[in-house]
Each structure stands twice: as structure tokens, then as C-alpha cells.
């Protein structure tokens, strides 16, 4: 069975020098998942990279959690569009080859 | 080592106040920050320039030096010799663009201020920072992407053994944890991101796990039916062509496509499009026979 590495939220907050309330806001907006085990709250290690990105956007660009939500939604759309474009390019290449 | 007009980089004039500089910097940083412009080398470069401009203009001492020598930057070296390298003591606090494959500061900056400066976080806190992520690109032939194989990469002098699973996609990126640059102030190492570029010089077009190709069928086989041998990606297959097959007819060969990434034994499909080839250089006798046939229709 796959094991999931979990990191205590307070440890992360002190490491990145952020308020626990900031993590709570991200959670309430559905931007991160929080696991609770015996009343201790954790974040999955594999999601830390996303959290780091949110912290950078917050600290370096002074964007609040709602703004981060907007940015992440737009980035997801950009990713989807990039994938669609790649598929469309492949399809076009195929039709071009077929009609040569 | 071209002169860089830091004021125009931030879109401000020379009389800008500290507040104007901060405001302009924030605006530009929001526009070009690598986290909001993933995989955009242009934005990354702009972001470095904006950081560099802010680094100089937000520091009264550096700004004074820049205003005095900036346009006549060739004298900066003499200035350095006479006055010593302001800014060096800040080296290592933070890292502009850390984690984004961050570009270095310009030669112009280096010549004026000697080395990278304080960077994006201006507080000068000795916070632990994750080391810079490395981004690498690995070109693979489509035949290599068809089978699981091992490769040894050398990144910054370190050999990294990599198992590339069959079915890897063009443009797919894999992350190798902790193989980026070392962390700052005891922070964790950065990660290594490898983007795969799959070169395809075969007659097969790949869309995800499915392959597409065209196969020629001679006129008589298309009209009367028969067997043909068609190429698949890893061999050949015998196909039955039905009588009166039309040009452009497609046949789907299940499981003859590309391997599904990390799903051993699973393959996509291969779609073959029949391209009917008419005979050329007809003999007189053939022409006559075709005319006979034409009359029958």
C-alpha cells in the first residue's frame, strides 16, 4: 500500500514564517487539503510544492488568498488550453500528412 | 555589457520617490513573476531585470552610484577600485528567481555593483530557503519512448540514474526530488525537472497512446479484396482488405498503438488509413480494358 508523508502544519508555518490563519484561508478556499490525525493537522508532502508557490505569491506579490485562488484557476485554464493546443497541432499534422 | 536603463525597466522617471519605485516594482513583479508565468523564458528574463532595477533603485546608495555613473558605465570599474564593492556583503540573502531556474543578473549589474545582490526578499531575514530548482530538457527518439529504459544524466557534475517508463509523452515533465541546487541557510535542496522532447521521424503520428498512419493499397486489391502487409510500430501485420474498399477507409488495430505510461502491458490503438494507389504508365491493352469496364458502368 502506498504511504503518504504528512507534515504538521505548525512546523510548516514556522519554517516558512507564515501565520496558521493564512493556511486556514487557503484551506477554506479549497486550495489545499488538510489531513487531521488525532487532532493534529497535516499537509501531504507532495502538496508542499503547491503551498510554497502560494506562499511566494502571497509574500512576494502581496496577493491575498482570494487572489491566489483566481491565479490558480487561471493557471489551470492556461494549462488546459496548452494541452488542447498540443492535441490540435498533432491532429492538424496528421491531416496534413494524410492529404499530402 | 550593455547599459540598462533601470528607470525605464520600472517605467518611472529619474525623480521617482522611494514610494514610486516600490509601487512600480510591485506592479512589474506581479506581471512577470515566474509563478504566474510558468515556462515563459521571456517573463523570467523580464523578472530578473525588474529585480535588478529594484535592487539598485530602492537602495539610496546604489541609486546614487547608478545615477552618477550609470550612463557612463565604462567608468564603473574605476569607481569600484576607488570606492570598493558596495553590495557584496548582501550576497546570499535570498536569491532572485530562486526556484524558477532564475537567470543571473546582467553583466552591467555585476560591473557596477559586483555580484548578485539582496534579491527579491528585501527583509534580509536569515530564513531557510529551498535551493533553486533545475530545469533540463531531454531529447528522446520515439523508439526510445516506446520501451522502458535506463539513462544516466550528468547534471552539474553529478550522475543521475533515470528509468524512463515506456509511453512517456512529448512535453511531459518529471520531477527528481532534491537534485536541484543546495538549500540556502540549511533549507531543502531544490528539485530537478526534466522535460522530455520526443522526436518523431517515423511515418506514425502519435496522439497520446494512439498511433495513426497511412497504408497504400493497390487499385485491384481495393476493388476485388485481398491481403496486404502493413507496418505497425514494432513490426508488420497482415490485413484483409474487403472488396470495393474506398479511398480513405480507416481500420483500427486495437493494442497496436503506443504503450500506456506506467501501465505495463497496456497499449493504445493504431489507426491505418487506406490510400488507394492507381496504376500509372498504362499499356494500350490496359487502357482498352479500362475503357471496356467504363462502358459497362
Distances (CA, A) of B281 to B206, B278, B284, B285: 36, 10, 10, 11
Q: What is the dihedral of CA B198, B199, B202, B205, to 10 degrees?
A: 50
Question: How many angstroms separate the CA atoms of A18 and A10, rounded?
Answer: 9
Over residues B8-25, the pLDDT tens digits come to 999 999 999 999 999 999
Q: Looking at residues A56-67, what average pLDDT do you find?
A: 91
Range of lowest pLDDT (A18-27, A86-95, B4-13, B233-242): A86-95
Q: How many domains does chain A have?
A: 1
* Contact by Cβ (8 Å): B53, B81: no
Give pLDDT, residue B73: 47
A61 belongs to a structural domain: yes
Closest CB from B120, B207, B214 relative to A90: B207
Which residue of B27, B36, B209 is the best one to mutate when testing the A interface, meaning the one whose CB has the most A CBs within 10 A? B36
A39 belongs to a structural domain: yes
Over residues B220-270, the pLDDT tens digits come to 999 999 999 999 999 999 999 999 999 999 999 999 999 999 998 899 999
Task: Delimit the CATH 1.10.287.110 region(s) of chain B.
Answer: 6-123
**What are the CB-based long-range contacts (under 8 Å, 24+) for B144-152?**
B145/B196, B145/B198, B145/B258, B146/B233, B146/B234, B146/B258, B146/B259, B147/B259
As to burial, measured by CB atoms within 10 angstroms (0-12 exposed, 13-18 middle, 19+ buried), residue B87 is buried
A1 belongs to a structural domain: no
Q: What is the DSSP letter of B231?
A: E
Closest CB from A49, A52, A61 relative to B30: A61
Find where cell 524512463 sits.
B164
Q: How many A-B residue pairs are in contact by the CB < 8 A criterion?
A: 47
**What is the architecture of the domain spanning B134-199?**
Sandwich (2.60)
A10 belongs to a structural domain: yes
Give pLDDT, residue B217: 96
CA distance A42 to chain B (A): 19
Question: How many angstroms separate the CA atoms of B4 and B7, rounded?
Answer: 9
CA distance B41 to chain A (A): 16
Domain residues for the domain of A53 are 6-99
Task: Delimit the CATH 2.60.260.20 region(s) of chain B.
Answer: 134-199, 205-281
Q: Is residue A90 less than 8 Å (CB to CB) from chain B?
A: yes
Give me the residues of chain B with pLDDT under 50, please.
73-74, 83-102, 117-126
Residue A46: closest CA among chain B residues belongs to which residue? B177
Which cell numbers in the block locate residue B283?
499499356
Q: Which CATH code fits B6-123?
A: 1.10.287.110
The mean pLDDT of chain A is 87
Residues of chain A contacting B205 with CB distance shorter than 8 Å: 90, 93-94, 97
Q: Is residue A47 less than 8 Å (CB to CB) from chain B?
A: no
Distances (CA, A) of B106 to B28, B79, B111: 18, 18, 9
Q: A57 and B206: CB-CB below 8 Å?
A: no
Closest CB from A57, A62, A97 relative to B35: A57
Q: Is A7 left (phi over 0), alpha (psi -120 to 50) or beta?
A: beta
Q: Looking at residues A46-50, what average pLDDT do you find?
A: 87
Residue B128: closest CA among chain A residues belongs to which residue? A15
Question: How many angstroms separate the CA atoms of A64 and A58, rounded?
Answer: 6
Q: A94 and B36: CB-CB below 8 Å?
A: no
CATH 3.40.640.10 matches B205-281: no
Q: Is residue B26 less than 8 Å (CB to CB) from chain A?
A: yes
Note which residues in 130-189 of chain B have CB less than 8 A from chain A. Answer: 130, 170-171
Q: B128 and A61: CB-CB below 8 Å?
A: no
Q: What is the DSSP letter of B273?
A: E
Q: Is residue A57 less than 8 Å (CB to CB) from chain B?
A: yes
Q: Is residue A46 less than 8 Å (CB to CB) from chain B?
A: no
Q: Is B135 left (phi over 0), alpha (psi -120 to 50) or beta?
A: beta
Q: B212 and A61: CB-CB below 8 Å?
A: no
Amino acid at each position: 500500500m502506498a504511504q503518504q508523508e504528512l507534515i504538521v502544519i505548525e512546523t510548516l508555518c514556522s519554517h516558512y514564517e507564515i501565520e496558521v490563519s493564512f493556511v486556514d484561508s487557503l484551506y477554506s478556499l479549497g486550495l489545499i487539503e488538510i489531513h487531521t490525525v488525532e487532532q493534529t493537522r497535516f499537509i501531504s508532502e507532495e502538496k508542499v510544492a503547491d503551498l510554497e508557490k502560494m506562499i511566494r505569491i502571497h509574500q512576494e506579490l502581496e496577493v491575498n488568498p482570494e487572489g491566489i485562488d483566481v491565479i490558480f484557476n487561471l493557471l489551470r485554464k492556461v494549462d488546459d488550453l496548452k494541452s488542447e493546443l498540443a492535441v490540435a497541432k498533432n491532429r492538424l499534422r496528421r491531416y496534413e500528412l494524410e492529404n499530402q | 555589457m550593455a547599459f540598462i536603463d533601470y528607470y525605464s525597466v520600472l517605467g518611472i522617471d529619474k525623480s521617482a520617490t522611494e514610494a514610486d519605485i516600490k509601487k512600480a516594482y510591485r506592479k512589474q513583479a506581479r506581471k512577470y513573476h515566474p509563478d504566474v508565468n510558468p515556462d515563459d523564458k521571456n517573463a523570467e528574463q523580464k523578472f530578473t531585470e525588474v529585480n535588478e532595477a529594484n535592487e539598485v533603485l530602492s537602495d539610496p546608495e546604489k541609486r546614487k552610484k547608478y545615477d552618477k555613473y550609470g550612463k557612463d558605465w565604462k567608468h564603473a570599474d574605476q569607481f569600484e577600485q576607488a570606492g570598493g564593492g558596495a553590495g557584496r556583503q548582501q550576497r546570499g540573502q535570498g536569491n532572485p528567481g530562486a526556484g524558477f531556474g532564475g537567470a543571473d543578473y546582467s553583466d552591467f549589474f555585476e560591473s557596477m555593483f559586483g555580484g548578485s545582490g539582496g534579491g527579491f526578499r528585501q527583509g534580509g531575514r536569515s530564513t531557510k530557503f529551498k535551493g533553486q530548482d533545475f530545469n533540463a530538457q531531454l531529447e528522446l527518439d520515439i523508439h526510445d519512448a516506446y520501451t522502458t529504459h535506463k539513462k544516466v544524466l550528468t547534471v552539474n557534475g553529478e550522475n543521475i540514474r533515470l528509468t524512463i517508463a515506456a509511453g512517456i509523452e512529448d512535453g511531459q515533465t518529471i520531477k527528481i526530488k532534491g537534485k536541484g541546487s543546495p538549500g540556502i541557510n540549511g533549507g531543502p535542496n531544490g528539485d530537478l525537472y526534466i522535460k522530455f522532447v520526443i522526436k518523431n521521424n517515423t511515418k506514425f503520428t502519435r496522439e497520446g497512446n494512439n498511433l495513426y498512419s497511412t497504408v497504400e493499397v493497390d487499385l485491384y486489391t481495393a476493388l476485388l479484396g485481398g491481403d496486404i502487409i502493413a507496418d505497425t510500430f514494432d513490426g508488420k501485420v497482415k490485413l484483409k482488405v474487403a472488396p470495393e474498399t474506398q479511398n480513405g477507409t480507416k481500420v483500427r488495430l486495437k493494442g497496436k498503438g503506443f504503450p500506456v505510461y506506467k501501465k505495463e502491458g497496456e497499449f493504445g490503438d493504431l489507426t491505418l488509413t487506406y490510400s488507394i494507389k492507381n496504376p500509372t504508365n498504362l499499356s494500350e491493352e490496359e487502357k482498352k480494358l479500362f475503357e471496356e469496364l467504363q462502358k459497362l458502368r
